[in-house]
Amino acid sequence: MVENVIYPAYFDAELSRSDGRRVPEDLAVEEPTVDELAKAVQQIGYDATIERDATYSREYEARGRVLVNRSDDSSKNDLVHAVAAYLGILRD
């Protein structure tokens, strides 16, 4: 079992890559929440646990994070891009 951590900053359209965004601008959304991230993670078939008080190391404000439990060998980058695709669908 692999546990990955994902932060809202990874998907935030307001941030640059150097500030922590990990997805292309066309997949990023404005002000993503941990609830949206958890819902997207569950939509792609993984278990999600929300930690609301966590702070991303490149930010000062606690926006939380999502712990993702996976049993496959895909990369974290694949996970982040799949979550970003579902975030876009959730926002439409």
pLDDT of residue 60: 93
> CA 41, CA 47: separation in Å to the nearest integer?
7
pLDDT of residue 72: 83
pLDDT of residue 19: 95
CATH code where residue 36 lies: 3.30.56.30
Residue in the structure block whose two tokens are 């996970």: 79
C-beta of residue 13 within 8 angstroms of C-beta of residue 71: no
pLDDT of residue 91: 74
pLDDT of residue 21: 97
Q: Structurally, how many domains does the chain consist of?
A: 1
pLDDT of residue 28: 96
pLDDT of residue 90: 78
pLDDT of residue 88: 85
Task: Output the pTM of the full model.
Answer: 0.93
Residues in the chain predicted with pLDDT less than 70, given as ranges, are none
- Reduced to 3 states (helix: H, G, I; strand: E, B; else coil), residue 87 is helix
The domain of 85 spans 2-91
